[in-house]
Amino acid sequence: TGPETVSPTGADTGAPQLSNGQQGEYLTTSAGLRLYDTDHSLKAGERGPTLLQDHHLREKVMHFDHERIPERVVHARGYGAHGVFVGYGTGANVCRAGFLANGVETPVFVRFSTVVGSRGSADAVRDTRGFATKFYTQEGNFDLVGNNIPVFFIQDGIKFPDIIHAAKPHPDREIPQAQSAHDTFWDFVSTHTEATHHVMWNMSDRAIPRSYRTMEGFGVHTFRLVNAEGETALAKFHWKPKLGVHSLVWEEAQMINGFDPDYHRRDLADAIESGAYPQWELGLQVFPDTPRQTFEGIDLLDPTKFVPEELAPVQPVGMLTLNRNTLNYFAETEQVAFHLGNLVPGIDVTDDPLFQARLFSYLDTQLTRLAGPNFNQIPINRPHTAVNDMFRDGFHQHAVHAGVAPYRPNTLDGGNPFETGPDARPFVEVAQPLAKVAKVRQSPVSFADHYTQPRLFWQSLSPVEKEHVVRAFTFELGKCYEQAIKERELQVLANVDTVLCQEVARGLGLPAPTVTGRPKKVTPSPALSQVGHSWPVD
Ligand code: HEM
């Protein structure tokens, strides 16, 4: 900390320091007082009682008592590693972000996760996987917080608490189960047909990856990119594993979860330790930034839709290599805080309603999870650039700010230390006419087709992959207690593909329904929007 009021959160190397509790030759209290014994409490005589004045006993137990912090409300089970990203320079025509420039090396931290299970759950469960990357760029941190499935369950973030409540273990018994093996999940997805596409991926082999090293990653949303000339384009981010995409088969996954619940984290850590560094190529699908924000009829603001690579090939822009394991799980993997609002110049948000809600949610949850507003000062979250944020105080403040006037302009702290400038502006101004619009709670009509893409996904599978999907639906739906839920989900499947529906119905011992609700052309109305274009329950 210097007189220039730069907080010590800046210019960190990223490598965790063994400090605060692990320096010097001798054991001490947290206040640095030498200890001669940490194995016996202070007692009145050999047989006690223990004396209240034993500060070391009280401090040691007090600290232990407070070791746990809340696990993430979703993605609680995760594993992280450090690495480096090297830009190819091929993205420069659409994006001016410095870390994409040719040969620029950027340190990164990646955290992989499952969505639904608690922190102690097994790795190889059927679930979506998180793939979150923090790029410590020279322009500040860029967080790409994606999944291994290119589409999402819901179209609007206001439904995120609902889908997660439905997917987490039942509130009455709290029995941890595979993501989908219970009634609330199938109740939700069979009444919210926008979830059908994600559910198809979840029932496919993609949801039981063989290794984190053989998983794709997707930014899911459409982002807006800006190049050096100020021209904009819309784009989707993709991670392609160098080892290819490989999955487990269900029986393997079941056995692995029994034999080695830490299978994926062990695999990643062992690979890195042995020098078999996993790699992913970062790629972009780029689309013209048109006022309608659609491409080939696909609404780019609908996160339940992808754009087939045949229509928009993925263009490689750089390579990620994971080459260093964490020193300390808690300090790094548990305390890392990703946020979609951490964007560098050249990358901007879009109006995807799921994206917009996420911008609020992560910051908010981290206030609780990491106990206060200063979590960007935790070593794993520190940018590798200077920080000068004018924020002051708060729980766990580590900076010793100099000066008296954290506002600008000021005439007291030797001029104006808080420079802004056009180059520092992180967000681009987009020329969009701000016409008079009504405030509404509804989705665009273009969000209403819930079946075309699930059908496309089904048709793209090989016969063996299709068989796995059928078996997964049969197994998971077979765990539902409510017959009506199974029947309603079969109705959803009938709208995806007749054979899929018939096979699952046969497995469940139920009659296959006929198609009743081909892609609905829904005219949004306030009444309908309140149920989010849901399947009529009665
Ligand atoms: C955590 C991905 C949608 C709220 C995460 C993580 C990932 C992720 C990868 C784990 C980050 C880590 O490793 O620390 C996604 C993707 C989404 C999505 C790809 C959709 C495209 C949402 C929505 C919300 C939400 C719509 C809320 C409105 C959260 C919260 C956490 C989280 C609260 C925990 C964050 C923390 O405790 O640090 N998400 N998510 N997510 N997500 Fe999402």
Q: How far apart are CA 149 and CA 215, in angstroms?
A: 9
CA distance 91 to 99: 10
Determine whether the shortest distance from the Cβ of 157 to ligand 1 is under 6 A.
yes
Does 358 count as an annotated binding residue? yes
Nearest Cα residue to atom 16 of ligand 1: 146
Output the residue whose Cα is nearest ligand 1's atom 32.
Answer: 74
Is any ligand 1 atom within 6 A of the Cβ of residue 354? yes
C-beta of 87 in contact with ligand 1 (< 6 A): no
276 Cα–ligand 1 center, Å: 29
What letter does residue 331 receive in the DSSP assignment? Answer: I
72 belongs to an annotated ligand binding site = yes
**Which atom in ligand 1 lies closest to the alpha carbon of residue 72?**
37
CA of 159 to the centre of ligand 1 (A): 13
pLDDT for 528 equals 33
Give Cα separations from 301 to 175, 319, 444 (angstroms): 36, 27, 10
What is the CA(377)–ligand 1 centre distance, in A?
Answer: 21
160 labelled as ligand-binding?
yes
Pocket test for ligand 1, best of 71, 73, 75, 163 (most atoms within 8 A of CB): 75
| Beta-sheet strands, E only, within 208-273 | 217-218, 223-226, 232-241
Contact (Cβ atoms closer than 8 angstroms) between residue 38 and residue 56 = yes
Residue closest by Cα to atom 9 of ligand 1: 130
Give the model's pLDDT for residue 519.
Answer: 43
Indicate whether residue 100 lines ligand 1 (CB < 6 A).
Answer: no
**What is residue 178's predicted lDDT score, i.e. its pLDDT?**
56
The two three-digit tokens of residue 365, written as one number? 């949850």
Low-confidence ranges of the chain (pLDDT < 50): 1-14, 179-180, 519-538
Tell me, using a 6 A CB cutoff, whether residue 75 lines ligand 1.
yes
Atom of ligand 1 nearest to the CA of 157: 26
What is the ipTM score, two decimals?
0.96
Contact 189, 153 (CB under 8 A): yes
Three-state secondary-structure class, residue 139: coil
The identity of residue 534, as a single letter, is: S
Is 353 close to ligand 1, i.e. is its CB under 6 Å away? no
Amino acid (one-letter) located at 490: L
Active site residues: 75, 147
Helices (H) and strands (E) in the chain, counts: 13, 12
Closest CA to 356 of 341, 342, 337, 368: 341
**Has 111 been labeled as part of a binding site?**
yes
**CB neighbours of residue 413 within 10 Å:** 18
Task: Supply the residue whose CA is at minimum distance from atom 2 of ligand 1.
Answer: 146
Single out the residue of 147, 144, 157 nearest to residue 353, CA to CA. Answer: 157
Percentage helix, strand, coil, to 5, in the chain?
Answer: 30, 15, 55
In this prediction, residue 1 carries a pLDDT of: 29
CB of 365 shorter than 6 A to ligand 1: yes
Report d(CA 515, CA 490) in Å as an integer. Answer: 10
Which residue, by CA, sits nearest to atom 23 of ligand 1?
358
Please give the model's pTM, rounded to 2 decimal places.
Answer: 0.92
Please state the atom number of ligand 1 nearest to the C-alpha of residue 219.
Answer: 19
Q: Is the CB of 473 under 6 A from ligand 1?
A: no
Ligand 1 atom showing the smallest separation from residue 364 Cα: 33
Q: Of the residues 71, 74, 144, which should be mutated to test ligand 1's pocket, given the most ligand atoms within 8 Å of the CB?
A: 74
Rg (CA), the chain: 26
Span from the CA of 419 to the centroid of ligand 1 (angstroms): 33
219 lines ligand 1 (CB under 6 A): no
Q: Is the CB of 152 under 6 A from ligand 1?
A: yes
**Span 217-249, pLDDT tens digits:** 999 999 999 999 999 999 999 999 999 999 999
Q: Which of 86, 483, 78, 439 is nearest to 262 (CA)?
A: 78
| Spatial CA neighbour of 233 closest among 167, 289, 282, 188 | 289
DSSP 413-459: SSS------GGG--SPPP--------------GGG---SHHHHHHHH
Q: Whose CA is nearest to atom 41 of ligand 1?
A: 358
Is the beta carbon of 132 within 6 A of some atom in ligand 1? Answer: yes
Rounded to the nearest angstrom, the distance between the alpha carbon of 251 and the centre of ligand 1 is 29
Q: What is the 3-state secondary structure (H, E, C) of 4-60?
A: CCCCCCCCCCCCCCCCCCCCCCCCECCCCCECCCCCCCCECCCCCCECCCCHHHHHH
DSSP letters for 54-112: -HHHHHHHHHHHT---PPPSSS-SEEEEEEEEEE-STTTTT---GGGSTT-EEEEEEEE
SS3 141: strand
Find the 158 Cα to ligand 1 centroid distance in Å: 13
Atom of ligand 1 nearest to the CA of 130: 9
- Per-residue HEC secondary structure of 475-497 comes to HHHCCCCCHHHHHHHHHHHHHHC
Going from the Cα of 338 to the center of ligand 1, the distance in angstroms, rounded, reads 9
Please tell me what DSSP assigns to residue 330: I
Centre of ligand 1 from the C-alpha of residue 348, in Å: 18
CA of 17 to the centre of ligand 1 (A): 28
CB neighbours of 59 closer than 8 A, spacing ≥ 6?
A: 29, 30
pLDDT tens digit string along 151-170?
A: 999 999 999 999 999 999 98
Contact 320 CB / ligand 1 (< 6 Å) = no
